[in-house]
Amino acid sequence: MKCVRLPLMSVADILSVVRPARLVNPDTLLDAIAERTNIRLSKLPHRGQLLIDENVASPRLGSKVISGELMEYLLDGDYYTYDMEKGYTRHAISGPGDHGIIVKLGTPSIINHIRMLLWDRDIR
């Protein structure tokens, strides 16, 4: 039961679901409720890191591109200078089994939004 992060559960769930099951010592439940109420939610033991206003897809944080063409450009931070040959990562849409562009983050993270620059220099 040490792997269950009780402080991340709502107090209502602890009282109405966990407690009636009688699988956890009542003192442990009280400790979890106390931890939840006395510590900021962002400081509780989440599965992923939460970095406020930070690009977690950054080589500085251990992220890397593992699939796609021209992989070295995706995480370089430069979104102004690009053309048909350099400055962006791409992949061919080939149907089933297409892996697309895959970025492996340095650590498990809580992501609240994703920004993408799509190709906008089509001359057709």
- Do 72 and 120 lie in one domain? The reply is yes
Residue at 104 is within a domain: yes
Q: State which residues form the domain around 32.
A: 6-43
Cα 47 to Cα 4, 44, 50, 78, 90, distances in angstroms: 11, 10, 9, 30, 30
State in Å, rounded, how far the first CA of the chain is from the last one: 60
Each residue of 99-115: pLDDT tens digit? 888 999 998 888 888 88
* Concatenated DSSP letters of 4-43: S-GGGS-HHHIIIIIHHHT-S-HHHHHHHHHHHHHS-GGG
Number of domain units in the chain: 2
- Do 22 and 66 lie in one domain? The reply is no
What whole-number distance in Å separates Cα of residue 77 and Cα of residue 88?
10
97's tokens:
């089994």
- Do 85 and 110 lie in one domain? The reply is yes
Residue at 1 is within a domain: no
Using a cut of 0.75, tell me whether the model's pTM lies above it.
no
- Do 63 and 110 lie in one domain? The reply is yes
What whole-number distance in Å separates Cα of residue 98 and Cα of residue 115?
22
Each residue of 49-82: pLDDT tens digit? 778 888 888 899 999 999 988 888 888 878 788 8
- Do 21 and 54 lie in one domain? The reply is no
* CA quadruple 92, 95, 99, 100: dihedral sign: positive
- Do 26 and 55 lie in one domain? The reply is no
